[in-house]
């Protein structure tokens, strides 16, 4: 792979990465947990010399799909499918303070008869003494950084929709892959000591409208003009979309009509490895 493709591969890996695995099937082991470690972030794209533009790329939402080919002798234990929200969460604490102030009016007076010392001292209420009392109340609530909703695709594959809760884009892990497997796989082979163990795949998909392209710039005006003539770009955004489509296609990932906001994009794919 040349340097330009290496640069693109590293850049797009910053948008999302997948690591999927399960225990090995054997004669004594027919059911295993499928683990999928997904990490979202922001990529700086366009660092290779052939790109006429540079930009930052993030995902605003995405779905994680477990692909089980019809030809593979493996099924899913429905009761094992992870259907709950993740436990990775933070706490939002708000402090409310109520303060009350009391003004005290006091007076001091003294007098003496003519037989004593003639003196009179008076302090009016204007000499105010202030006492404040405060009461603090802390209100804590649990917030989830990434919200996960489980469902199925039109093809009947299990999927998990991931959306940000406190930010505009996806960042970090939606779940703890070690302690929260997605589901259990069942090896359907009659004789597990023979043949090739079944394989499954995990994909991260989104729509074009789920991709956020920011800080879009033309790198070099002469390079931009040459690229426009060669590829027929209408504007910078069209160039960025073409860059994304070409990179994902070179990685063997499916991109359908990226010019349309509902166009389907496969951002990453990985075959689950046995460990």
Are 19 and 272 in contact, with CB atoms under 8 Å apart?
no
Q: For residue 79, report the phi and psi dihedrals to the nearest 5 degrees.
A: -70, -20
pLDDT band at 143 (very low <50, low <70, confident <90, very high): low
Residue 235: what pLDDT?
83
SS3 content of the chain, % helix, strand, coil (to 5): 15, 45, 40
pLDDT digits (tens, 9 = 90+) for 75-124: 999 999 998 654 445 565 666 666 666 554 554 444 444 444 444 444 44
Residue 178: what pLDDT?
94
Q: How far is CA 21 from CA 18, 118, 177, in A?
A: 10, 99, 10
- Residue 225 or residue 83, greater confidence: 83
Say yes or no to pLDDT of 224 above 90: no
Residue 52: what pLDDT?
81
The residues pairing with 136 across neighbouring beta strands, listed in sequence order, are 97
Question: 0.75 cut: is pTM over it?
Answer: no
Average pLDDT, the chain: 80
Among all chains, which residue has been given the structure tokens 């259990």? 184
Tell me how far apart the 2 most distant CA atoms of the chain are, in Å: 124
| C-alpha 213, offset from chain centre | 16
Distance in angstroms (rounded) separating the CA atoms of residues 262 and 241:
13
Distance in angstroms (rounded) separating the CA atoms of residues 220 and 230:
15
**What is the pairing mode between strands 53-59 and 211-218?**
antiparallel
For residue 197, give the 3-state DSSP assignment.
Answer: coil
Residue 72: what pLDDT?
93
């Amino acid at each position: 792979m040349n340097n330009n493709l290496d640069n693109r591969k590293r850049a797009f890996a910053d948008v999302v990465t997948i690591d999927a695995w399960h225990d090995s099937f054997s004669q004594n082991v027919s059911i295993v947990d499928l683990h999928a470690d997904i990490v979202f972030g922001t990529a700086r794209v366009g660092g290779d010399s052939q790109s006429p533009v540079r930009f930052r790329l993030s995902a605003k939402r995405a779905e994680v799909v477990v692909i089980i080919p019809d030809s593979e002798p493996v099924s899913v234990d429905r009761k094992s499918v992870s259907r709950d929200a993740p436990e990775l969460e933070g706490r939002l604490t708000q402090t409310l303070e109520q303060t009350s102030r009391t003004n005290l009016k006091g007076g001091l007076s003294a007098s003496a008869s003519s037989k004593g010392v003639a003196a009179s001292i008076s302090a009016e209420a204007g000499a105010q003494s202030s006492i404040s009392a405060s009461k603090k109340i802390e209100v804590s609530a649990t917030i989830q950084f990434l919200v996960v909703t489980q469902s199925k695709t039109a093809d009947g594959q299990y999927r998990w929709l991931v959306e940000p809760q406190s930010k505009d884009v996806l960042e970090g892990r939606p779940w703890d892959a070690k302690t929260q497997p997605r589901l259990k796989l069942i090896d359907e082979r009659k004789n597990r000591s023979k043949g090739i163990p079944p394989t499954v795949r995990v994909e991260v998909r989104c729509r074009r409208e789920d991709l956020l392209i920011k800080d879009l710039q033309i790198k070099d005006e002469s390079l931009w003009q040459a690229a426009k003539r060669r590829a027929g770009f209408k504007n910078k955004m069209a160039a960025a979309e073409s860059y994304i489509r070409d990179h994902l296609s070179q990685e063997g990932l499916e991109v359908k009509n990226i010019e349309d906001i509902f166009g389907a994009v496969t951002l990453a794919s990985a075959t689950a490895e046995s460990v």
